[in-house]
Amino acid sequence: MPEAFKLFDAHVHVGRWKTPDFAGHQSDLASVCSVLASCGITGALVMPTDDGDNVGLARGVAASAGKSRLKLMMAAWVDPHDPDATMEFLEGHYPMVSALKLHPSFARLPITDQAYRPFFEFAAQSGLPIVTHCGRWREVAGWERALEMAESFPDVPIVLSHMGGDSPTLVAGASNAIKERKLNNAYLGTESIREPWVVGRAIDTLGADRLIFGSDHNLNHPNSFIAVINALGLSNEEKAQIFGKNAQRLLRYDEGCYSSNDNAAISAILNKLGAE
Ligand SMILES: [Zn+2]
């Protein structure tokens, strides 16, 4: 297994939060990387905060190439209210983008809204997975809506953040529905789930190959959520799947075309970013 996926954190934010809920919390890429490295994390999927600063993050990731042992891949933040700007970013930085991040709650727009459709089509064409926030605001960010899109786009892998919503009943509902509807492209991200038994039940239902480890750093500390997985008494193979193998498959790392740190296309992007 590549070093990056020994302990891969598939849900990491960089930057400053706009929402008043997070009280101006911020961290830059360097401090994020040092926290991740202190937890033994070897690779991460980094994404902007709700400020949606894709260009700033791309610049940081490109500049960090080769300087850290931590392997960084980038998810672009999709703004359904300014689809042209997001699409322009994607087209200009495509080799650097490994996933799309959707946040229906912050956008106040359900994932099933037409405004997201071009991004699902982009994901389908490019083979990128979609990471989407799921939560308790069911009409907008319920797992039901995410699975509706998983059903409509069977070739697009969709990671339901917070395992479908940060509550035991939401996680169970999402797991059962994925199994019953045989949605082989739906995955659950473990970020911010604190109860090992909730994660354990999802593994019993779906198998360890559908869970993707994430921490939701810079909001949470990765060690809290590494501990949740380690508390489950899983086999080494199951742990390897959750901590990296599943993400490696999803992010199509082996195809080599989206590896942000060492792709030849990055130097071209770096020059372009430097010139902006
Ligand atoms: Zn998050």
Q: Is residue 116 part of a domain?
A: yes
Tokens of 263: 């792709």
Structural domains of the chain, count: 1
- How much is the average pLDDT of 58-75? 90
151 burial type by CB count under 10 A (0-12 exposed, 13-18 middle, 19+ buried):
middle
* Residue 65: pLDDT band with limits 50, 70, 90: confident
Give residue 222 CA to ligand 1 midpoint distance, Å: 12
- How much is the average pLDDT of 173-178? 98
Give residue 275 CA to ligand 1 midpoint distance, Å: 31
Q: 121: domain CATH number?
A: 3.20.20.140
Within 10 Å of residue 195's Cβ, how many Cβ atoms? Answer: 14
Q: Is residue 196 part of a domain?
A: yes
Give residue 102 CA to ligand 1 midpoint distance, Å: 10
Q: Which helix (H) or strand (E) holds 45?
A: strand 43-48
Give residue 186 CA to ligand 1 midpoint distance, Å: 18
Give residue 216 CA to ligand 1 midpoint distance, Å: 5
Which pLDDT score is estimated for 259? 46
- Measured CA to CA in angstroms, residue 260 lies from 56, 97, 145, 179, 251 at distances of 15, 8, 30, 33, 11
Average pLDDT, the chain: 93
SS3 content of the chain, % helix, strand, coil (to 5): 50, 15, 35
Which pLDDT score is estimated for 260? 46
Tokens of 221: 């500390």
State which residues form the domain around 163: 3-268
Q: Is residue 273 part of a domain?
A: no
Give residue 230 CA to ligand 1 midpoint distance, Å: 21
DSSP 108: T
